[in-house]
Homo-oligomer: A and B are copies of this chain.
Amino acid sequence: MSVYLHDIPLLEAQARLRQALQDADLWRVLGTETISLDENALGRVTSEPIWARISSPHYHASAMDGFAVRALATNGALPSKPMTLQIGPEADYVDTGDPLPDWANAVIPIENVESLDEHGKITEDVRKPGYIRIRASVPPWSHVRPLGEDIVATQLVLPAGHTLRPADLGAVAASGYEEIKVARKPKVAILPTGTELVPIGSELKAGDILEYNSLVIAAKIKAMGGEPTRFPIIKDDFDLICERVEEAARDHDLVLLNAGSSAGAEDFSAKVIQKLGTLLVHGVAVRPGHPVILGVIASGRKDRADFLNDDEIASSSASQSPRNDIVPIIGVPGYPVSAALTIDIFVEPIMAKWLGRRPNELQTETATLTRKIVSPPGDDDYVRVAVGKVGDRLLAAPLSRGAGVITSLVQADGLVIVPRGAQGIEAGEKVKVHLYRSRTEIERTILCIGSHDLTLDLLAQFLAEHDRRLASANVGSQGGLIALRRAEAHLAGSHLLDTKTGEYNISYIRQYMPNIPVKVVALVGREQGLLVRRGNPKGVKSLEDLNRPGIQFVNRQRGAGTRVLLDYHLNLLGIARESIIGYNQEEYTHLGLAAAIASGRADCGLGIAAAAQALDLDFIPLFQERYDLVIPRQHADSHLLAPLFGLLTGRGFREAVSRLTGYDVSVMGTVILEDQLND
């Protein structure tokens, strides 16, 4: 059998691993343990049904403070014909929760009796009278909680495989337990390998890669109910890796070997598994995640009992306790998004089986796709999307596809899965989204699209304090207006100069969003200028320097307001675009542009002062411009956006922005345009 089975379908890969686990008698609850019934039992999974040992209440309990009586003896009492009962033989005081005397079968609440002393006079000592006078009869069992009202001994309280919630713990306690039998936590070893890896928090030099996959994986394992162990980074040394894997296999249920993302490293993992056991799958047709490796190796445990707890040893028989000589191992790809999805796709079903619970599932909703997804037809393709509700439509906007972009998982509101066989999905199609956030959280999300500005990050922080989430996508000013026309966002940031009138945005809005009433509010005035490295080594002073020999320029993308501004001034100056080296090198954000210069990829670019400051660049101010928020009328009046206007006219956000360099907050909140709705 060939072990280099590149890119077999996902379902087949999962099936092979499952079959291997079944063959090893490991496709089952791994083991159980008895834990005490306290708050730490929360989230554990019952390993057997809980049948009530006792009833609750376990006696007939008074449900009120009052007097226990024989119901029959109260027959005939009327408001007009009161009846007197003697304390002792005919009535007895009971507090709520007290057991009824054997002879009693009802309780009269204390507020419905008159307490009399031994001479038949009204007494203040209402709880210890000699007699009580009643003016109504009571039916049997009134104001009594009968034995078993809540729980009857022998009834099923919880099934096996139930994840314990707070109230469940109470019900189990009420059923007569002080301990509970739960599935033991599967032990998962996480081994990061790669000579290029350095621990988080390290000082970095070029080529160093921060090792945080083991952190993300450990947190996922913990959230799934397992017990993760993070091993130290192992350098790329075949024998050393083999040694550590064998060590991990001895006292863990699952070994995750996280390789660097290079093909070389990946082959290393496969070879390790081949040496120590059986390679089942090498390469799965899933994106991201391709180079997943699945296998089983020998555990190296000599004695089954080594690995069992007292509970299991006490109860174990050959048929009940899983085999102990095989450990599954998964080669997890190195790119962080691939690594995270590999854990969700391959490890979660195993953890669910080992714990006896249902696999975790994401809620799904139907949404409209905003942009076309192109997908290789051979793969199951997991596409991260931002999700928001604009008007009545739920929208899914594809995020960065890069397997190295961990922030795409942070920003993602959900996943759209393009199944094997499909070449992609067209914009406007309805798609099933597996949601990472609750529907209510998504309904509190403000989708902001268009030009990027650093103040939007600050705005996101301030909006969060008002229970709104600002999700911004950077597509340039024109892209933002087009998205608004398509009703794909709630607002757009725009700084488009009308090169004829010198006015900002208005003519573009009329052009790109005809017949859509809008409100336009100024966010900030800001300086645009040239970003250059500290000390300006190339001596760049103005746009006239851009086509000087030896100057490498970096530009913003087509449609960006900054690019419009550049083109406007290049025209005024009569400078040909083609004469500028790097004019076609596009960056999508101010910070991306600044980073290109900081890294030496380019010498200069047009951008804002804040971006220069952020990356410690020099800034040569050239122009002043206004950055506006464009908001379709229907959203401007919505509850969702209400906090935004409060922030724009209040103090806190304004002050925070004014502390940034290159911003003029005097215009903030000024209404530039306010169309009325036609009807």
On A, residues with C-beta under 8 Å from B are: 37-39, 41-42, 49, 54-60, 63, 65, 95-99, 102, 105, 140-141, 145-162, 165-171, 173-174, 176-179, 196, 199-201, 204, 206-207, 209-210, 212-213, 215-223, 228, 230, 260-264, 334, 336, 340, 358, 361, 363-364, 402, 404-407, 409-410, 438-441, 454, 457-458, 460-461, 464-465, 467, 585, 589, 591-592, 594-596, 598-601, 614-615
Contact = CB atoms under 8 A, between A and B. Distances in A.
Contact of A171 (B54, B222, B407, B599): B407
A465 to B, nearest CB: 7
Contacts of A458: 156
B167 A410 contact: yes
A150 B263 contact: no
A47 to B, nearest CB: 12
A652 to B, nearest CB: 13
13 contacts: A96-B260, A97-B196, A97-B261, A150-B407, A152-B595, A152-B614, A159-B461, A165-B219, A167-B410, A170-B406, A171-B406, A171-B407, A173-B210
Nearest to A207: B99
Given A102-B600, A213-B170, A410-B168, A595 B39 contact: no
A220 B60 contact: no
Contacts of A177: 200-201
A226 B464 CA distance: 22
Contacts of A141: 585, 601
Contacts of A404: 57, 63, 145, 149-150
Given A37-B200, A49-B461, 13 more contacts: A55-B595, A56-B406, A58-B204, A59-B599, A95-B262, A141-B601, A147-B598, A152-B614, A170-B213, A170-B215, A171-B406, A358-B467, A363-B438
A402 B140 contact: no
A270 B212 CA distance: 52
B171 A410 contact: yes
Given A99-B207, A152-B589, A601-B105, A361 B438 contact: yes
B264 A95 contact: yes
Contact of A402 (B102, B149, B439): B149
Contacts of A334: 96-97
Contact of A174 (B63, B65, B170, B212): B212
A591 B156 CA distance: 12
Nearest to A462: B159
Contacts of A598: 147
Contact of A457 (B145, B155, B465): B155
B595 A167 contact: no
Contacts of A336: 170, 174
Contacts of A102: 600
Given A38-B218, A146-B601, A178-B201, A97 B262 contact: yes
A564 to B, nearest CB: 23
A531 to B, nearest CB: 13
A216 to B, nearest CB: 4
Contacts of A99: 206-207
Contacts of A230: 38-39
Contact of A145 (B105, B402, B601): B402
A146 B42 contact: no
B601 A222 contact: no
Contacts of A220: 166
Given A212-B169, A407-B157, A595-B147, A207 B461 contact: no
Given A155-B457, A161-B465, A592-B152, A42 B171 contact: no
A460 B160 CA distance: 10
A216 B167 contact: yes
A464 B170 contact: no
Nearest to A409: B167
A219 B162 CA distance: 16
A601 B147 contact: yes
A650 to B, nearest CB: 18
Contacts of A405: 149-150
A174 B406 contact: yes
B212 A173 contact: yes
A65 B262 contact: yes
Contact of A262 (B96, B363, B589): B96
A54 to B, nearest CB: 7
Contacts of A585: 140-141
Contact of A601 (B60, B95, B212, B215): B60
A361 B159 CA distance: 26
B42 A151 contact: no
Contacts of A263: 65, 96
Contact of A65 (B154, B217, B264, B440): B264
Contacts of A166: 216-217, 219-220, 223, 340
